[in-house]
Structure 1
Amino acid sequence: MTADPLDAYMDAVAKALALPVDDAWRPAVKANLEVSLRLARLVDEFPLPDEIEPASVFAA
């Protein structure tokens, strides 16, 4: 078992999707996941009041 949760996640997702990930690409994939998770954390931690309404959807 790998010590880093992102390594374990990459292994599990690659197996679930039957997607081979070359060892040479693993550092780049991991860096991308780290950035994505950091950005998702910023969105998740942004406080929104309970009375906020979703934006309207406009179609042309």
Structure 2
Amino acid sequence: MIDHAPAFDWVREAGQSSEWVTSVCTGALVLSAAGLLQGYKATTHWACTDLLSLFGADYNHLY
């Protein structure tokens, strides 16, 4: 099994010191898993929208 903790730690650290935190497509799942989207509205690829809530983000269907 691969230990992804160091990658999520890096994303979390980089995001906490950034003015803007953005992603493309399913990158929102990485940001959410790192804890950067808790309490925020986010969107992702349509096939993965139900996964955002697993990590504390609120799905926002943006048009």
Q: Which structure's residues are more often strand, by fraction?
A: 2
Largest Rg, 1 or 2: 1
Taking structure 1 as the reference length, the TM-score comes to 0.29
Q: Which structure's residues are more often helix, by fraction?
A: 1
User: Which of structures 1 and 2 has the larger relative contact order (alpha carbons within 8 angstroms, sep 6+)?
Assistant: 2
